[in-house]
């Protein structure tokens, strides 16, 4: 079949797959990482600020330890200061090898943050609340899931979703600040 030039599509001789990313299971991560995920998510929740309650941490793929944490800092006037961008930027500048980390975030990443995680080359992403819940609760979001965004990239990065969302959904249920 003819090759296509559609963004996010991969053509082979038999088919064209477009944005078919699916969620992965946490079992893809080493046990040392899995054992620390609950604690990591709770730390991400802990750094989520009032107003825009999004938090993110980076977990070392070898030690399972949280090596960086940041909350949303848009209150400072920086529209790119989402939690995931913040933690990747701060850790990268600090010299942490981002390719040896897993990103744990309280909510499924927006297009900007999902792309930033790809650019960083992290080993995977674990999020709490899905984009669909954010949208249903009144938060602005793009109509793309994080696995879909990753699938349009050059990485086969696992994305684990809805992790401890019973703890993160309440952060977003009442919608954004008015």
Interface residues with Zn ion (CB under 5 A) are 82, 110, 112-113
Cβ of residue 113: shortest distance to Zn ion, in angstroms?
A: 3
Q: How far is the CB of 84 from Zn ion (least distance, A)?
A: 6
3-state helix, strand, coil in the chain (%, to 5): 35, 20, 45
Paired residues of 18 in beta bridges: 9
Nearer to Zn ion, 17 or 142 (CB): 142
Measure the CA–CA gap between 57 and 106, rounded to whole angstroms: 9
> What gap in Å lies between CA 175 and CA 178, rounded to an integer?
9
Q: Which is nearer to Zn ion, 37 or 113 (CB)?
A: 113
State in angstroms the smallest separation of the CB of 26 from Zn ion: 22
Joined tokens for residue 103: 């990103």
Comparison of 110 and 131: residue with beta carbon closer to Zn ion: 110
Instruction: Tokens for 52, please give them.
Output: 């825009």
Complex with Zn ion: residue 36 or 104, whichever CB lies closer: 104
- Least distance in Å: CB of 110 to Zn ion? 3
């Amino acid at each position: 079949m003819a090759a296509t030039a559609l963004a996010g599509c991969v053509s082979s001789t038999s088919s064209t797959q477009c944005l078919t990313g699916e969620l992965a299971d946490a079992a893809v991560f080493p046990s040392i990482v899995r054992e620390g995920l609950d604690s990591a998510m709770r730390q991400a929740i802990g750094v989520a600020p009032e107003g825009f309650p999004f938090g993110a941490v980076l977990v070392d793929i070898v030690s399972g330890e949280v090596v960086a944490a940041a909350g949303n800092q848009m209150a400072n006037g920086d529209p790119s200061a989402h939690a995931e961008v913040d933690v990747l930027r701060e850790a990268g500048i600090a010299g942490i090898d981002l390719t040896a980390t897993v990103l744990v975030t309280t909510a499924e990443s927006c297009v900007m943050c999902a792309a930033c995680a790809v650019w960083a080359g992290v080993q995977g992403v674990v999020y709490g609340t899905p984009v669909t819940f954010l949208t249903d609760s009144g938060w602005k979001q793009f109509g793309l899931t994080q696995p879909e965004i990753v699938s349009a990239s050059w990485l086969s990065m696992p994305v684990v979703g809805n992790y401890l969302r019973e703890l993160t959904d309440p952060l977003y249920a009442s919608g954004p600040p008015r």
